Each structure stands twice: as C-alpha cells, then as structure tokens.
Structure 1
Amino acid sequence: MTIQRIEGKLLWEPSQQFQDESNMKKFMAWLEETRGLRFQTYEQLWNWSVTDIEGFWSAIWHFYEVQAKTPYDQVLADKKMPGAKWFPGSTLNYAEHIFRNEVPEKAAIIYQSENRALGEITWFKLKKETAAIAAYLKSLGVQPGDRVVAYASNIHETITAFLACASIGAVWSSCAPEFGIMSVIDRFKQIEPKVLFAVDGYRYGGKDFNRTELVKKIQAELPTLTQTIIIPYLQEEPHLEELKDAVLWGEAIEKNKGEVLTFTPVPFDHPLWILYSSGTTGKPKAIVQSQGGILLEQLKMIGLQKNVKPEDRLFWFTTTGWMMWNVVVSTLLTGATILLYDGNPGYPNYDTLWKFAEETKMTVFGTSASFITACMKAGVKPKEHFDLSHLNSIGSTGSPLPVSGFDWVYEEVKKDLWLVSTSGGTDLCTAFVGGSPLLPVHSGELQSRALGASVKAFDDQGQELVDEIGELVITEPMPSMPIYFWNDENGDRYHDSYFDVYSGIWRHGDFIKITTKGSAIIYGRSDATINRGGVRMGTSEIYSALESVPEVIDSLVVDIPISSEQSYMPLFVVMREKASLTDDVKSRINQVIRQNCSPRHVPNEIFPVEELPKTLNGKKLEVPIKKILMGTPVEKAVNIGSLANPDTIQYFVEFEKNMNGTQG
C-alpha cells in the first residue's frame, strides 16, 4: 500500500489564559528577563533551541535550577555525533532532584491493579522506603556503576527500587514480567547485574501468572547475581525455598527502616539506566543513558512540552519494559503525582481506565494509539459515564494515532482537551516530536518538534524535505542520546545503529513528514523493528523463538503500517520437507512467540513460502520486503543484482497486490 497524504482539520486551540499560564510561557519570559532573548512564537523559540544548542541547554539547566555538587566547565565540550560530551566537570544526582520536590503528606504515587485496590504512597513513605532499599543495596556491596535489574510490574515498589538504585549511582534496568524467559536473559545477561528485584507473579485479564519458576531460571543464567529481592505481588507470602540468595521486599525494608536517604554525586555522563533496542540484527542492544542527560531532557520534555505542574496527576499506561515507564517516574521531577495501573487495560472492559481516571481525579491521561482506537471500535463513550472534569490533556504514543482517533477523543471524551500525540524513542527516552501548549491541535498531526530536537525529514541523498515523507533524522546532538552501548568498546554497534546512512546525523528509523506550519506526521518504522503497542522487539528475537518449532526451517516477519489506524504483521515461513503449515503448527508458532517474546508480537497471519529472498551473503531482505509490501516499486526497494535468488521477489509483489483481501 502506498502511504496516503493525511490532511488534518483544526480540533482545538489553547486559550490565551492556557498559554499565559503554561510553563512554556514562563520559560520564554525568563529567557527575555535573564538573557535578553525575545520570542513571539513557538516556531521562533524552536529555531533558536536547535541553532544555539549550548545556549538552549544551559538555559534549561538554570531555569530548572539544577543542583550540582561541582559546576560544569562548559556546556558542550565536543559537538560531534556520536560522542558529544555534555556539561563536563559537573557532578549531580538524578534522584536528589526527584526528592527536592517532596511534600511529606502529599501523594507521590497513586496506584491500582487487577489485584490491588486503589491506594497511595506519600512522599514521606516513598523517601523512607527508598532510603531503606538504598541502605540494603549498599550492605550488599553495590557500588556506583554496578547494575541492578528488575523483573517486575508497574507498581510502587519497582519505582522505589529504581530511586534507591539511582541515589547510590548504581545502574538500573528492567523488564516486564510478561516478557518471555529468552527475552529477559538476552537483555540482562549481557550487563552482568549484581542484584535482581522480581515479583513472584502478576495478574492480567483476570488470570494469575506465577513467575517464581522463571525467576529461578533467570537466576541460573545470571552468575553475577549476589542477591534476589522478591516483591510479593501475586501472593502475600511467596515461597522462596527454591530460589538462591533470595529475601522478601519487606525484610529488606525492615532491616534498614531507620536509614536516612543520601545521594551520591556522580559525573553528568554517569550511567543512570539501560534500555534496550529491539534486537533486529542480533541480541537487543543495551542502550546506556546518563544521569545528567536524562535529568535535563525529562525536565524539558515533561515540564515544557507536556506542561506538567506540581498540582497535576499524570498517568501513562505502560509496563516496566517500555521507556514510558521511565518517563512516568521522571514526572516526579516536576513535583506532580504519578498514577500507576497494572493489568489489562481492556479488562473486564474498556471502561476500566476511564473509571480509574475519574476516581483519581487524573489531569493527564497517557496511553497508546492502539488503546484509543480500541475504545473507539468498542463504542466506549467516556464523557457519558464518567466525571472527567479534572482531565486537561490526553497523551498518545506507541504508534501513529489515526485521524479517526483524534476525532473520537474530541467527540467522546471531552471538547476542551489538549490532545498530545507524541513520537520519540527508547534510544533517547523522550518524545522529540509532540506537544506544545502554545499551538493548536490538528487532526492526524503532531503539533511540533520538541525544543532542542533538530528533527527533519531527509530523502535518500540527505536533502531536507518539507511536506514530503522522508527519513526522520536529528541533525544536532541531544543530552539524552546514548552515552554508549554496553559491551560496545569501539562504538561500532552504536555508530551502525544510527549513523551509517547519513554521516554525523542521527537516522532514527521512522518515516516522517514535516509540514510547512511546523507540525509533523509519523508513518511508522522505516526499518525492520516491530513496534506493537509501544513494545519494540527485533525480528531476531522472533526467529530465535521459532527455532523450537521443528517444522519451520526459515522465517521472515515484517510489520507493515497498512493504514494510519493499524499495522499488519505477516509471518512467512519455509517449512521442512514433507511438513505442512497445519493449524496445529500455526498454534505452536503463535505459542512460542507469545511465551518467548511477547503476546503483542504474535503475527496477524502466517504464510508458507518455498524460499525467502536473500542477498548474496545470505542476509534476509526484511526492509526491502517491507517497502514492497507498502507499495514501493521493486526497482526502488531492492537491488535485484544483490540477490542470490531474485525470482523469490515476485511472490511478495503479488502478495502486496492482494493484501487487502488477506488481512485478518
């Protein structure tokens, strides 16, 4: 299918009062007062932020009064990408900036899940328990730079564990408990963690999933572990007999309940956490982001672009395996209350999260585009059944929000509402295209490029495009870009991931169009990454899972943005001689993908093929096949001369012609 041009209609405009009271306007006034910089429009402000990047990021530092134990020598010592060196000389602590906002009796976290009633954690309790866990980690010998990992749910204990980890300068990484065993081990094993936090299980869609046996298997694959801390979630008193060196969460708290929280100052570029690439060309890449870089980026993104204030109550439906969990935690930097929900958002029906919004007096409702379209298709009418008077904005990410999704929000949720459709990436842990409280909302469009994010659309020759679809690139460095990949000593994997197409310019792997008015439209991935419901996974993880299906000898999977409303993920398999793609085989294929990768990455349909097209050196043609299935002519999608078996391409040409009739 050829991607069609999307024209948006005006849906909402910010009132003058809304603009004047926004954090963005306060920042602009501060720039004029302290630096003599006067900007009339957001576009002018954005242009300055990406041309004078040192001036902009130093302004963010001082506007938000970043507390450094030692000052920085300069803003940017080396501007090159990759390898930019931000704020050298400075030392600080991310967690210290979280707790400078504490109001002891105010709710820091409000939570609910399928097996926990609505409750809250005050700032006082959050700080007290963070201090206890931090002290316990220190007693285990955890030092700055040591890795601490979590196989845990989106619950308050996980956030406490992370803040404790950050406070002592240790490096955090997490996976959601619905991740299959292979996906977890592929991620954690390469970073050699010292401590593991894990839930005993979780509940999803009304069903209980015990994870104790999987935790045991994870322990066996991580020889560097010295301690496992089990968070009781499925059971009040889980049994630990079969787990090595394991203690309960409550025991760790009790042993250190009188401790005072302290903060270890670390260099600006000291690792804060490790996120993961999708694993398209091998094991997922371990993306390391810095304490200082994440601090500045999240202050800017959450404070200015999302306009979050201390009185807000922000929710974003996520799991601990998605970067949006890290964004939710970072919202505490603003002093706002964060809201957590763990479970199936559509169980027992799609009213669940809207009811949660009413009960918590939610002001910011963050979710995925797929959830919004699911509500739309299910006929949900939140405004008729729930009191959403406190709700000021809705955020959408994970995949492009269709025009019909924009319309549904204003028709069925609330007329006077700021809809913030955003796009970004795990790679920078931010949205670099998204919202501005100074701009209108047009159907199908993201309002603006974020401050400090020099986002452009490039053609194949590296020329900038306007009002045309191109590759999303970032032409200037940003502080939250990875400081490195773990175990990538020469930086080769880092370079090849983002800088192998346009020298010195970040290529993100998305299709984008920048309009003449500065808004943007995202058209999905331009590479082989599979992004479903915000959970990114590489094709190699699916191929690895399929190795356990004896009938399948080769496979190829692509995720096609078949329309603005959905993606379509077909799996093509080469069957072993005399084997057939029976319903039983299909069922087992789906089962191994569900168990070892994630339920979201089960293919829409499975098709048998005689042979897969490959290059002369044996590489699968994932991206070219994706382009063909999106309607790109063969001669533009692939160099036929580079193929070992060019005749195999014709199957996919015919498949594209018939695709509308084959979608399930």
Structure 2
Amino acid sequence: MQPQWEPSAQDIASARITDFAAFVSRRTGEQYPDYQSLWQWSVDDIAGFWQALWDYFELGETAGEVLGSRAMPGASWFPGTRLNYVDQIIRMARPDRPAIIALHEDAEPREISWAELIEQVAVFARTLREHGVEPGDRVIGYLPNIPEAVVAFLATASIGAVWSACGQDYSAKAALDRLGQLDPVVLVTADGYRFGGKQHDKRADIAEIQAGLPTLRATVAVSRLGHAVPGALPWTTAVTDDEFGVIDTVAVDFDHPLWIVFSSGTTGLPKGIVHGHGGVLLEHLKAVALQSDIGPEDTFFWFTSPSWMMWNFQVAGLLTGATIVTYDGSPAAGSPDALWRLAAQVRATVLGTSPGYVLGCIKAGSVPKTDHDLSALRTVGITGSALPVSSALWLNENAGEHVQVNSISGGTDVVSAFIGGVPTVPVWPGELSAPYLGVALDAYDEAGAPVRGEVGELVVTAPMPSMPVAFWHDDDGKRYHDAYFDTYPDIWRHGDWITLTEHGSIVVHGRSDSTLNRHGIRMGSADIYQVVEQFPEIAEALVIGAEQPDGGYWMPLFVVLAPGAELTEDLKTRISTAIRTEVSPRHVPDEIRAAPGVPHTRTGKKLEVPIKKLFQGADAARVVDRSAVDDPALLDWYARISPPHKG
C-alpha cells in the first residue's frame, strides 16, 4: 500500500514541529532527522521532553523538578510549580482575527473578538466571585456548543474553580447522573437549542436539574430560543459591566483540577475524570500546536458537543492563538454535506468530524471539493472510531489531494490522543500516522510481551502529564487503578486493540473488551464495520461476539437498512462474501438480522459490550444505564433476542 498523502519539503520546513526539533537539538546537541527519532527521544527522556515543551512555549518559571515520581498511577509532575491555564490564552490575544466564530442553523455567523472574549471572561469571573465561588468549587454547564460555554469555562478556570459540562441532548436525569455528583454551586445553561431544523425547549429539564442540585447558589441562562428561565440570571447581565474587564487569574498548583469530564456511564454512574491545569496545558499545546500544526493563522472547526472531550480539545485552539468555531446545529442541516459548506463559509483550515459523517457523505454522493470552496482547508481530523480505508481514499479524492487526513485516537481519559497525524509524516489509508510525542506507546500480548505486525493491547509504559489527577469520589484510588492498571502492573492499558506496522504507523481495531475472538483469532469490530457499512443498502451495523454457556460462540451481525432497502438472501450473501474476502473467513457472522437501530452512548459510540452482556444472560437493568443511551427503546429490542446455545 502506498501513502495517500505525503508532506512536501515546504510542509516539513514550515511545520511547527520541525522548529521544535531544532530547539531540542540546540538543547541536547543531538540531531533528530525525522519524526521517529524525535519521538524516540521524547519517550526515552520523558522529563527532558516535557521541560523542553514548557520552555519552547515560554510558559514561565518552574519550581525546578519536572517529574517528582514516575509511578503509575500517581506520577508527580512539576511539583511546586503554580500556573493557570487561562494565562496562556490571555498571552495569545490579538486584534486582527476573531477568537471565536459562532455558527448556528438559524442565524448568520457571529464573530467574537479576542478583546470581547477576554472582557466577557473577566466580567463573568467577577459574577462568579459575587456568588461566592472560590477555588475548588464546581461550576457546571448544561449547554449547546455556543461561545457562552467557552466563556463560562474560561471564567471558571481563571479563578481556580472547576468546570464540568454536558450538552443539552442529555435528559435531566442523564445530566444529574454526571453533574449531580459534583455538588456544584453555579449552573450555566440555555433555554434550549436547535438541531435539524427543530427547536428543543429545555426549560423543564433545567427546572428538574435545579431541583436535583441542593448545593446550587445561582443559575445563569443564555437565551437561544427567546425564553426566560425561571430563577436564572440572564447571561447578558452576567457578562455586562461598565468597566472594561481585566482577567485576574488565580495561580494554582500544577495538578489543581481544571475540569471534570465523564465516561460514557453505560454500566452504572459515569466516572468523573479529573484533569489538572498544568497537564492539560502542556498536553494540548503539544497536540494542537505541534502534532496538528495549528497556530495563529488557523481557523479550527471540530463538530462536537460540550459532552465530548473534543469540545475541550477544540477550546485548546485558543492556546495557540487560533480562531475556533462553535456550531449549535446538525452536521447535515439542509443537506448531507452541510459541514463542508460551513467549513467553506468560515474558511476553516482544520475541520474535524467522524467516520460516520464521512460515510454519510459518501452514500449521499457528495463531492465537497467541487460543491464548496475548500481552498483554505489543510487538514481533516477524524476521531470517534476507526476510519475505513475506503473512506480515507474518498476523502483524498473528494476533499482534495492537498488535504491531510489526520485520524486521531485517544480518549476522555487523557483528554487528548495517543496516536494521530503529524505534518511531517506520510498518511497511509486506514492507518494512524504515528504515536504522539511523549506517549510511550506499545502493543502487548496477553502475557505482557510487545508484539509487532499483529494485534495487541494498546499500552502506555511511561506517565503523561494529562493522565487523570484522580477519579471523582475515589478517595483510595481503587477505581482509577482498576480502570487502567489492573491487567499489566505499572502499565496503562487503554482497552483498544492496535497493530504497530513495519512503517511506524498504527492500525486501530476497536475496543479490546468487545473484540471478536473466534477460534482463538482476534478481530476488531471496526474491521467488520469498514466492510459492511460500505453497502448502500446498510445505514449502520452492529456485530457481537458472545461466549455461550455451553462453550459455544455466537456471532450475529445486525444491520440497519437504508430507506427502501430489504434484507434479502442475496444481500446477506454479498455481505458474508465481502467479510470473508476482505476481512477474514473465520469472522463471517453466524447470522445476519435486520435491526430497527443501533444504540449508542451520548457521544456516539456503539454499545457493543452491554449488548454482548444481554446476549450472555445479564439483566438489562444492570448492564446499562438507560439515561446514557441515545435511544433507550432499542435496548428492549435487543433484550428480547434469544441467542442459540450451540457447541
């Protein structure tokens, strides 16, 4: 297989990561002629790398030591050093470009200047203080992806309080399952949102959330639909002051909580994952400025929601002086290729989306580079699941050959990526280009031995500053330890199957806890989806491999049919043949069934493991929290299926 994109000499020369490599060379006296050599140094000298990153971005004085303890979990980064995440954003303010471009389905784009952003952050921080908010207090958001969410987060962080949020597609119960754990003192919300041409009035949900949070001192509400929220301070009042606002940031410890993000919560209450100011600042400067090459001349647009860590990741564009884009709406509003139209409208240089959206555009016959002016676009980011080879090649042909497809894979756990694209490294179809700097990535077999060229567990063998500070309400650290360090002592096991290729790239096969292990041959579910979901008759698929009580193994494939399609014997045969020839003859499903839909977490991940547990006889009420599911009624359909018991 040949690369689908290769950097030009100019790409390499102008990349920020090339400048960083030269900076490191001057410090170490060593040469780093390619990305692989720079990455190797970054994981061989972990403390040296993160100190170099701190100095390269001129983040100020440190207390001295970089890594007080290398223990995992429990690494101690920059002990004694104090800072505030927001200081870096203040430093990057500029008068000639907007800080935020706000997009909505129902309104013209709105630009927020850096001066306006800083003033609103300063005034809202003053409002929080007036309500008694102090460092360590929790401020929560129940909001669409709008600029006010960014302002509220930055104001919260500036005074040392802790931010946490979820989108308004969550029900009141789902929001309370997450945010209710935090004993918050202020709620920032909106009267509702628009999606797919429909208005969603959220005032009843807000009232339920308020009633469920006895620690609340105040609610601040943005008017999106023109309604007043009872008992709430209007947003316009909370950010308006006669005096120009100057942000008075509070210096906090390196690991002082910045935000709390939540796991999907499909099996019990979601885990609150706490990240610190310093770890996030360093990780996001690395990931956004160096790995993604995003800087002051860029417009960074990722379709996301405050429920998803990619919202936090996109806000990090402000750390580099980039313009970020918020969008309150559907990626297919008005037409399947709406996201491309919006990207062209704001002259986005980096556009982020998902494999599912790309597949939808393919099936709709979209040709973005012809239908829209994408001349400014440099990079298409992909995350959420594995990108099939066919979709990667479609992007190459239809977004533009000059566009780098930057697939990334990481998670809420580190609020960043372990693996992704690099502006100086080729892109191979269906593969992620390289491990990120400072990520001691490996693939292990069941015995804990490294493997190459075959499927293994994704592990990280050295600490990263953005590994969680803690889990919320996990005083003894047991839940944190069990989540990542229970399989390989002192080694982070992430729960993904990967293959490290001979040319240094990585293939991600999906979650290892839902891996198809048939006849001892392991296969990621993503490998099956890449084949099946290319059929025009198939809207989506779900494959499950369930061990049965009699020792048998049942592997059904569920397909959601496109409008007007039928699951005929001919279609079943074509699907089975495609899996046999393009994936593996050992992983042809035992049967193919039409399904009314595929249940997902609220952030779009298929519920493979809970469905597998249903098929193994688990109680539906115990395997999944219905409020964490996008369409809970689908669980009932799957729960009624009786697997065959066969040897």
Give TM-score scaled by structure 2 length: 0.83
2:101 matched to 1:110? yes
Hey, what's the Cα distance between the residues in 2 that align with 1:591 and 1:146?
A: 41
CA contact (8 A) 2:443 2:458 kept: yes
CA contact (8 A) 2:384 2:605 kept: no
CA contact (8 A) 1:96 1:263 kept: yes
Which residue of structure 1 aligns with residue 30 of structure 2? 37
CA contact (8 A) 2:497 2:512 kept: yes
Hey, what's the Cα distance between the residues in 2 that align with 1:256 and 1:93?
A: 26
Hey, what's the Cα distance between the residues in 2 that align with 1:608 and 1:122?
A: 49
Secondary structure of the corresponding residue to residue 47 of structure 2 = helix
Provide closer, same or farther for how the CA distance between residues 307 and 455 of structure 1 changes in structure 2, counting only shifts above 3 A: same
Secondary structure of the corresponding residue to residue 58 of structure 2 = coil
Superposition deviation, residue 401 in structure 1: 0.5
Hey, what's the Cα distance between the residues in 2 that align with 1:139 and 1:359?
A: 40
Which residue of structure 2 aligns with residue 65 of structure 1? 58
Which residue of structure 2 aligns with residue 476 of structure 1? 462
Percent of aligned pairs with the same amino acid: 43
2:240 matched to 1:254? yes
Summarize deviations over 1:585-627 as a string: whole Å, max 9, x none.
xxxx999989xx64957989x9999984469xx9979xxxxxx
Provide closer, same or farther for how the CA distance between residues 13 and 151 of structure 1 changes in structure 2, counting only shifts above 3 A: same
Which residue of structure 2 aligns with residue 628 of structure 1? none
Which residue of structure 1 aligns with residue 528 of structure 2? 562
Hey, what's the Cα distance between the residues in 2 that align with 1:495 and 1:265?
A: 29
Hey, what's the Cα distance between the residues in 2 that align with 1:34 and 1:649?
A: 64
Provide closer, same or farther for how the CA distance between residues 221 and 132 of structure 1 changes in structure 2, counting only shifts above 3 A: same
2:149 matched to 1:158? yes
Hey, what's the Cα distance between the residues in 2 that align with 1:599 and 1:163?
A: 23
Secondary structure of the corresponding residue to residue 385 of structure 2 = coil
Please list, as runs of the form range in 1=range in 2, the aligned pairs for 1:448-527 lying within 5 A after superposition: 448-527=434-513
Which residue of structure 2 aligns with residue 435 of structure 1? 421
Provide closer, same or farther for how the CA distance between residues 205 and 19 of structure 1 changes in structure 2, counting only shifts above 3 A: same
Secondary structure of the corresponding residue to residue 394 of structure 1 = strand
Secondary structure of the corresponding residue to residue 400 of structure 1 = coil
Hey, what's the Cα distance between the residues in 2 that align with 1:254 and 1:401?
A: 45
Q: Which runs of 5+ in 2 are unaligned?
A: 516-523, 534-539, 546-594, 625-640
* AA partner of residue 564 (structure 1): Q
CA contact (8 A) 1:571 1:603 kept: no
CA contact (8 A) 1:422 1:435 kept: yes
Hey, what's the Cα distance between the residues in 1 that align with 2:3 and 2:508?
A: 18
Summarize deviations over 1:92-144 as a string: whole Å, max 9, x none.
01001111000134201112111332111000100011111000001111111
Task: Tell me which of 100, 116, 126 is aligned to 2:91.
Answer: 100
2:369 matched to 1:383? yes
Secondary structure of the corresponding residue to residue 527 of structure 1 = helix
Hey, what's the Cα distance between the residues in 1 that align with 2:290 and 2:300?
A: 14
Provide closer, same or farther for how the CA distance between residues 60 and 277 of structure 1 changes in structure 2, counting only shifts above 3 A: same
Superposition deviation, residue 469 in structure 1: 0.7
2:216 matched to 1:225? yes
Summarize deviations over 1:528-555 as a string: whole Å, max 9, x none.
69xxxxxxxxxxxxxxxxxxxxxxxxxx
2:289 matched to 1:303? yes
Which residue of structure 1 aligns with residue 298 of structure 2? 312
2:44 matched to 1:51? yes
2:286 matched to 1:293? no
2:157 matched to 1:171? no
Secondary structure of the corresponding residue to residue 11 of structure 1 = coil
CA contact (8 A) 1:396 1:422 kept: yes
2:228 matched to 1:239? yes
Summarize deviations over 1:422-443 as a string: whole Å, max 9, x none.
1111100101100111111111
Hey, what's the Cα distance between the residues in 2 that align with 1:313 and 1:297?
A: 20
Hey, what's the Cα distance between the residues in 2 that align with 1:564 and 1:434?
A: 19
Deviates more, 1:274-283 or 1:132-141: 274-283
CA contact (8 A) 1:12 1:440 kept: yes
Superposition deviation, residue 525 in structure 1: 1.1
Superposition deviation, residue 181 in structure 1: 2.2
Superposition deviation, residue 494 in structure 1: 0.3
Secondary structure of the corresponding residue to residue 124 of structure 1 = helix
Provide closer, same or farther for how the CA distance between residues 650 and 202 of structure 1 changes in structure 2, counting only shifts above 3 A: closer
Hey, what's the Cα distance between the residues in 2 that align with 1:609 and 1:429?
A: 28
Summarize deviations over 1:322-344 as a string: whole Å, max 9, x none.
00000110111101111122211
Superposition deviation, residue 391 in structure 1: 0.9
Hey, what's the Cα distance between the residues in 2 that align with 1:298 and 1:256?
A: 34
Secondary structure of the corresponding residue to residue 357 of structure 2 = helix
CA contact (8 A) 1:11 1:443 kept: yes
Superposition deviation, residue 259 in structure 1: 3.3
* AA partner of residue 10 (structure 1): P
Secondary structure of the corresponding residue to residue 122 of structure 2 = helix
Hey, what's the Cα distance between the residues in 1 that align with 2:504 and 2:316?
A: 27
Task: Tell me which of 10, 16, 19 is aligned to 1:17.
Answer: 10
Which residue of structure 2 aligns with residue 651 of structure 1? 644
CA contact (8 A) 1:67 1:97 kept: no
Hey, what's the Cα distance between the residues in 1 that align with 2:9 and 2:141?
A: 45
Provide closer, same or farther for how the CA distance between residues 73 and 347 of structure 1 changes in structure 2, counting only shifts above 3 A: same
Secondary structure of the corresponding residue to residue 111 of structure 1 = strand
Which residue of structure 2 aligns with residue 402 of structure 1? 388
CA contact (8 A) 2:615 2:643 kept: no
Hey, what's the Cα distance between the residues in 2 that align with 1:340 and 1:610?
A: 38
- How many residue pairs match? The answer is 566
Which residue of structure 2 aligns with residue 200 of structure 1? 191
Secondary structure of the corresponding residue to residue 83 of structure 1 = coil
Hey, what's the Cα distance between the residues in 2 that align with 1:439 and 1:103?
A: 31
Which residue of structure 2 aligns with residue 360 of structure 1? 346
Provide closer, same or farther for how the CA distance between residues 102 and 382 of structure 1 changes in structure 2, counting only shifts above 3 A: same
Hey, what's the Cα distance between the residues in 1 that align with 2:296 and 2:614?
A: 60
Which residue of structure 2 aligns with residue 89 of structure 1? 80
Secondary structure of the corresponding residue to residue 496 of structure 2 = strand
CA contact (8 A) 1:107 1:120 kept: yes
Task: Tell me which of 129, 135, 140 is aligned to 1:138.
Answer: 129
Summarize deviations over 1:328-366 as a string: whole Å, max 9, x none.
101111011111222110121122111112111111111
Hey, what's the Cα distance between the residues in 1 that align with 2:501 and 2:233?
A: 55
* AA partner of residue 93 (structure 1): N
Provide closer, same or farther for how the CA distance between residues 379 and 257 of structure 1 changes in structure 2, counting only shifts above 3 A: farther
Hey, what's the Cα distance between the residues in 1 that align with 2:183 and 2:498?
A: 37
Superposition deviation, residue 9 in structure 1: 3.0
Which residue of structure 2 aligns with residue 643 of structure 1? none
* AA partner of residue 312 (structure 2): N
Hey, what's the Cα distance between the residues in 1 that align with 2:289 and 2:460?
A: 22
- What is the Cα-based RMSD across aligned positions, in Å? 2.9
Please list, as runs of the form range in 1=range in 2, the aligned pairs for 1:585-624 lying within 5 A after superposition: 598=602, 600=604, 612-613=616-617
* AA partner of residue 143 (structure 1): E
Hey, what's the Cα distance between the residues in 1 that align with 2:135 and 2:623?
A: 41
CA contact (8 A) 1:560 1:568 kept: no
Hey, what's the Cα distance between the residues in 2 that align with 1:503 and 1:471?
A: 14
Secondary structure of the corresponding residue to residue 12 of structure 1 = coil
Give TM-score scaled by structure 1 length: 0.81
Hey, what's the Cα distance between the residues in 1 that align with 2:434 and 2:526?
A: 25
Please list, as runs of the form range in 1=range in 2, the aligned pairs for 1:171-190 lying within 5 A after superposition: 171-190=162-181
Secondary structure of the corresponding residue to residue 172 of structure 1 = strand
2:319 matched to 1:346? no
Hey, what's the Cα distance between the residues in 1 that align with 2:612 and 2:494?
A: 32
